[in-house]
């Protein structure tokens, strides 16, 4: 994972509480591949939810880009597939 992600200008617009959750997720995903990222992403989302924090779609896109940085094309595709699958599960549970 690119260690300079915190210096990305887009990160300066994110609430500090969200940044801390993202930083923790980034630490937990270091060196992990596609399928192993899913539990970390779910923990990030549910941890944020318990704290009353909601990520915007743009913030989620940014987080996914951070998680995918430095990964192979295959791993990036696997992350995208997993996120789609998880998204459909979340939508079913929130209806």
The C-alpha atoms of residue 91 and residue 62 are separated, in whole angstroms, by 20
Give 46-77 pLDDT, tens digit per residue: 778 888 888 888 888 887 787 777 788 988 88
pLDDT at 94: 46
Q: Using a cut of 0.85, tell me whether the model's pTM lies above it.
A: no
pLDDT at 93: 46
Average pLDDT, the chain: 76
């Amino acid at each position: 994972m690119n260690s300079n992600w915190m210096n990305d200008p887009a990160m300066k617009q994110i609430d500090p509480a969200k940044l801390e959750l993202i930083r923790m997720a980034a630490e937990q995903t270091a060196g992990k591949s596609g399928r192993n990222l899913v539990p970390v992403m779910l923990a990030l989302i549910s941890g944020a939810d318990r704290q009353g924090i909601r990520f915007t779609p743009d913030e989620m896109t940014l987080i996914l880009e951070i998680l995918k940085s430095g990964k192979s094309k295959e791993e990036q595709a696997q992350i995208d597939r997993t996120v789609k699958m998880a998204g459909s599960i979340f939508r079913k549970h929130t209806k």
